[in-house]
Amino acid sequence: MAENENIEKIHFAENYDQATIEQVQNIETQIADSCALVGEKEEINVLSHDYSRDDEVYQGKLKDLYSRYTSIRKTRGDGNCFYRSFGFKTLEACLTDVILTDKMLEVATLTKDNLIKLGYPSYTVEDFQETFSEVLEIARKSDNLYDITQVFNDQGYSDYFVVFLRLMVSCYLQENHEFYSAFIEDHPSMKDFCSQEVEPMSKESDHIHIIALSNVCHVTIQVEYMDRSGDGQKVNHHVFPDDGSKPTIYLLYRPGHYDILYKRENDQIKNNDIT
C-alpha cells in the first residue's frame, strides 16, 4: 500500500490540521522505535517487571491475573491500542471461526452503506472498507498466526483496519444518538463527539467506545482493570455488553493503555461468575 495514499486517506478520519498531523506522526515514529504495533505473545508474569515488589496492592493483583491468564500480547501505546487489541484478537479468532469472519464482513458492508447514508464520501469509506475486508479475507485463507501478525504489523494495513473500526463506532453512535447522547459531555451533538473523540487516529478510548464496538460487532469483551480501584487485591473487571454473554475477547487495561490477554483454558469464567 503506497505511503502517500495511506496518509491521504487517514487525513479524512483524523480531522486534524497539517501541523497536528505532523506532530502525531513524529510521536508515533518515536514510539515505533521501541514497540511493535502488536507484539509477540509473552508469559503473563512478564508484567512483574512493571511493578515494584514492595507494592502490596499491585503484587496482589498480579497474582490474581496470573491465576486466570497464561499470556499477554502487548500493543503499541499510540492512542489506538484498544482498537489494535480488539482488531488483532478478532483476526486471531477468524483463523478458526469462519462464522465470525462472515459476520465481520457483513457488519463492514452494512457500516459502509450506513456511513454513506449519513453523508460520508463513498469513495473514501469504500476504500477503508475494502482494505478492512481484505485483511479479514487474509485471516480466512491463512492457517497460521504468523501471517496475521505480519499483516497487522504493516502500518498501512493496520492503520486502515483501525480507522474502519473507529468508523464502525462512529456510525453506531450516530445511529443510536438518542440513547448515547446522555453519556457525552462538552459536545453539542453526537456527530461532533464522533468527529472529535472517535474518528481521529491516536484518540484514546473510553467505555462508550468499547460498548459501541462490542454492540456493532456482536462480540463480548471483558476488560481487566489493573489499577488501584476497588477493595482488596483482586483485579476489577467489566464485561461489555453486560448481558450475561460469555466473553470472547479479554483485554488488560492499565491507565491509558490496553493489551491482549489469553485466558487459562481450565479457568473460563462462567456467565454467573461475572460481576
Residues 143, 159 share a domain: yes
Domain membership of residue 125 as a residue range: 3-13+80-217
Domain boundary (186, 217, 248) is at 217
Residues 122, 158 share a domain: yes
Q: Let me know if residue 267 belongs to a domain.
A: yes
Q: What is the pLDDT of residue 275?
A: 24
Pairing of strands 257-263, 249-254: antiparallel
Residues 112, 227 share a domain: no
Q: What is the pLDDT of residue 69?
A: 98
Q: Which three cell numbers stand for residue 149?
A: 501478525
Residues 237, 212 share a domain: no
pTM of the predicted model, to two decimals?
0.85
Q: What is the pLDDT of residue 230?
A: 76
Q: Let me know if residue 20 belongs to a domain.
A: no
Q: What is the pLDDT of residue 11?
A: 54
Q: What is the pLDDT of residue 270?
A: 35
Q: Let me know if residue 52 belongs to a domain.
A: yes
* Residue 257 among the catalytic residues: yes
Q: Let me know if residue 25 belongs to a domain.
A: no
Nearest-angstrom CA–CA distance, 202 and 80: 5
Residues 190, 63 share a domain: no
Q: Which three cell numbers stand for residue 23?
A: 506532530
Residues 165, 149 share a domain: yes
Phi, psi angles (nearest 5°) of residue 89: -65, -35
Residues 69, 184 share a domain: no
Of 91, 127, 78, nearest in space to 257 by CA: 78
Q: Let me know if residue 22 belongs to a domain.
A: no
* Residue 78 among the catalytic residues: yes
Q: Let me know if residue 204 belongs to a domain.
A: yes
User: Any idea what the CATH number is for the domain that residue 63 is in?
Assistant: 3.30.200.60
Q: Let me know if residue 18 belongs to a domain.
A: no
Residues 178, 127 share a domain: yes
Residues 196, 112 share a domain: yes
Task: Considering the candidates 159, 194, 257, 259, report the single residue annotated as catalytic.
Answer: 257
10-residue averages of pLDDT along the chain (275 residues): 55 51 53 78 95 92 96 96 98 94 97 97 97 96 92 96 98 97 92 97 96 96 92 89 92 96 68 30
Task: Considering the candidates 81, 94, 194, 217, report the single residue annotated as catalytic.
Answer: 81
Q: What is the pLDDT of residue 133?
A: 98
Q: Count structural domains, the chain.
A: 2
Residues 133, 54 share a domain: no
Q: Is 207 exposed, middle or buried (0-12, 13-18, 19+ CB in 10 A)?
A: exposed
Q: What is the pLDDT of residue 271?
A: 34
User: Any idea what the CATH number is for the domain that residue 189 is in?
Assistant: 1.20.1300.20
Q: Let me know if residue 226 belongs to a domain.
A: yes
Residues 67, 189 share a domain: no
Residues 159, 118 share a domain: yes
Contact 185, 211 (CB under 8 A): no
Q: What is the pLDDT of residue 81?
A: 97
Nearest-angstrom CA–CA distance, 143 and 151: 14
